[in-house]
């Protein structure tokens, strides 16, 4: 027990406590299988942050704070204040794919940053102040764009129409300097009238209607436009005042983004074998009691089979990891999957040709695994002979693992726990 961690000891003691219940083994197995099954992979609704940052260098600290607090999947930035090297933005938003387009005035460029966990592709548009990408969300293709329209320039409605024709689903974010009562402005200008007509024509909506985005006036000029139903989204301004524009955060409740995490099981086999050691006498007694008839013996075997599977779940914890590193290569995984397919096919058909095909394929799989072991051994020898001390000691440590110790009970302070 001394080589077990605190959490392993806790799992072992709790498992023994469960075994001391008055319920039957079958009922206990069912409880474990329901209570300790694999958890579901978490997901969250997609979110977009639009920020007219005005001066990138002055307000980059605010931007990082927003990213850390709200974790938006997409970031739209307007008016960087000056031309910013893309390398600087990549370093700041290192977990995003960053796309940059030059501007037409002294206020700078536009940026669209997409979380690297989302599959995206830039759309080639030969026009300043506008950047767009294709993104797959919930197996749907979206076009997402960041647009800055200076007050003295026309809205790029022709290009915006092309974006709408690119995909059924469109999300446009930007400071369009367009004012209209339809999205909560007290005034209306020419750009606002044209944009309102364009939205009606293409069945699009302003999702942040009525939410103030300018600190200089009580108006909404930073817009988030989409074909999504406004009731399935939520927009709010964030209380960051480094710029003269308030950031807008929009959540799309209908669009779920799977977190790029994998659940990896970690089974404590020492506890598993030790619990079975504690319970072995009980299972032997039940086997002897059921040996009177073949039917009883079969039922006992089914109960034992269920218990073994349930016990594995009971002594397993699930860890979230960002990347899953299989122990074998993708090519070997393909070979194994095809072998399993041939096995199932032969079990059902019992044809001689299927048996021969399975046998031939099994020879190929064995040969590939032997080659894998050979390569692993050669790599191990190279690491041992490595002139790098850290590589040498990291490899040698694998040779000095402590042997597991069998036990028949768990001791906690002066109390001995047995089944």
**Complete edge-to-edge strand list for the sheet that includes strand 248-258:** 96-101, 110-115, 74-78, 43-52, 248-258, 233-237
Determine the pLDDT at residue 384: 82
Determine the pLDDT at residue 264: 85
What global pTM score does this model have? 0.61
- Distance between CA atoms of 83 and 123, rounded to whole angstroms? 21
Which of 322, 350, 369 is the last residue in one of the domains? Answer: 322
Residue 158 lies in a domain: yes
Tokens of 118: 């989302």
Q: Could you tell me the residue range of the domain that residue 270 belongs to?
A: 1-41+261-322
Same domain, 77 and 88: yes
Residue 233 lies in a domain: yes
Q: Is the sign of the CA dihedral 330, 333, 337, 342 positive or negative?
A: positive
- From the list 148, 172, 164, 163, the residue with the least C-alpha distance to 225 is 172
Residue 403 lies in a domain: no
Same domain, 128 and 248: yes
Tokens of 360: 């031939």
What are the CA-CA distances from residue 133 to residues 85, 100, 171, 250 (Å)? 20, 11, 10, 18
Helices (H) and strands (E) in the chain, counts: 11, 16
- Distance between CA atoms of 397 and 383, rounded to whole angstroms? 12
What DSSP character marks residue 39?
P
Residue 397 lies in a domain: no
Same domain, 73 and 167: yes
Per the CB < 8 A criterion, the answer to whether 417 and 409 are in contact is yes
Q: Which helix (H) or strand (E) holds 163?
A: helix 157-166
Instruction: Give the domain CATH number at 191.
Output: 3.60.10.10
Same domain, 100 and 82: yes
Buried b / exposed e along 122-148 (16+ C-beta atoms within 10 A): ebeeeebbbbbbebebeeeebbbbbbb
Tokens of 271: 């506890």
Same domain, 58 and 136: yes
Same domain, 117 and 4: no
What DSSP character marks residue 231?
G
- Distance between CA atoms of 147 and 159, rounded to whole angstroms? 11
Determine the pLDDT at residue 188: 95
pLDDT mean for each 10 residues of the chain (419 residues) = 79 90 88 89 86 94 95 96 92 95 85 92 94 91 96 95 93 96 94 97 96 90 94 95 95 82 86 91 84 78 92 91 73 90 91 94 94 89 84 76 58 67
Determine the pLDDT at residue 402: 59
Same domain, 121 and 196: yes
- From the list 383, 409, 410, 412, the residue with the least C-alpha distance to 395 is 383
- Distance between CA atoms of 238 and 256, rounded to whole angstroms? 22
Same domain, 82 and 150: yes
Same domain, 185 and 56: yes
Same domain, 151 and 275: no
Tokens of 316: 């397993």
Determine the pLDDT at residue 81: 87
- Distance between CA atoms of 21 and 31, rounded to whole angstroms? 12
Which of 322, 348, 366 is the last residue in one of the domains? Answer: 322
Per the CB < 8 A criterion, the answer to whether 146 and 110 are in contact is yes
Three-state SS for 358? helix
Q: Which helix (H) or strand (E) holds 353?
A: helix 352-384
Determine the pLDDT at residue 246: 96
- From the list 168, 104, 98, the residue with the least C-alpha distance to 133 is 98
Total count of domains within the chain? 2
Predicted confidence (pLDDT) per residue in 242-260, tens digit: 999 999 999 999 998 866 5
């Amino acid at each position: 027990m001394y080589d077990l961690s605190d959490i392993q000891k806790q799992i072992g003691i709790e498992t023994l406590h469960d075994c001391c219940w008055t319920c039957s083994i079958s009922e206990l197995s069912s409880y474990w299988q329901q209570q300790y099954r694999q958890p579901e992979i978490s997901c969250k609704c997609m979110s977009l942050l639009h920020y007219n940052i005005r001066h990138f260098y002055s307000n980059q600290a605010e931007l990082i704070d927003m990213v850390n607090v709200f974790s938006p999947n997409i970031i739209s930035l307007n008016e960087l204040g000056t031309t910013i090297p893309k390398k600087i933005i990549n370093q700041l938003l290192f977990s995003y794919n960053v796309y940059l387009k030059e501007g037409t005035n002294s206020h700078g460029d536009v940026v669209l940053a997409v979380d690297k966990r989302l599959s995206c592709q830039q759309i080639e548009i030969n026009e300043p102040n506008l950047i767009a990408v294709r993104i797959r969300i919930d197996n749907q293709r979206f076009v997402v764009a960041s647009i800055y329209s200076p007050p003295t320039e026309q809205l790029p409605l022709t290009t915006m129409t092309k974006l709408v024709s690119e995909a059924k689903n469109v999300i446009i974010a930007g400071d369009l300097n367009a004012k209209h009562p339809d999205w909560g402005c007290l005034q209306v200008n020419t750009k606002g009238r044209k944009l309102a007509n364009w939205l009606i024509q293409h069945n699009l909506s302003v999702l942040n209607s009525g939410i103030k985005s300018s600190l200089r006036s009580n108006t909404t000029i930073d817009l988030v436009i989409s074909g999504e139903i406004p009731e399935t989204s939520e927009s709010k301004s964030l209380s960051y005042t480094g710029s003269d524009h308030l950031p807008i955060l929009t959540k799309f409740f209908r669009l779920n983004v799977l977190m790029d995490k994998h659940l990896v099981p970690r089974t404590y086999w020492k506890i598993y074998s030790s619990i079975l050691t504690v319970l072995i006498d009980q299972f032997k007694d039940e086997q002897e009691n059921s040996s009177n008839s073949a039917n009883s013996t079969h039922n006992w075997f089914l109960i034992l089979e269920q218990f073994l599977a349930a016990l594995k779940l009971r002594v397993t914890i699930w860890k979230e990891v960002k990347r899953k590193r299989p122990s074998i290569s993708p090519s070997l995984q393909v070979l194994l999957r095809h072998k399993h397919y041939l096995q199932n096919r032969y079990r059902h058909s019992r044809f001689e040709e299927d048996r021969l095909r399975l046998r031939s394929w099994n020879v190929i799989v064995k040969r590939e695994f032997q080659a894998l072991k050979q390569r692993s051994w050669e790599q191990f020898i190279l690491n041992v002979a490595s002139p790098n001390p850290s590589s040498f000691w990291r490899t040698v440590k694998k040779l000095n693992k402590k042997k597991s110790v069998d036990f028949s009970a768990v001791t906690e302070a002066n109390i001995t726990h047995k089944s």
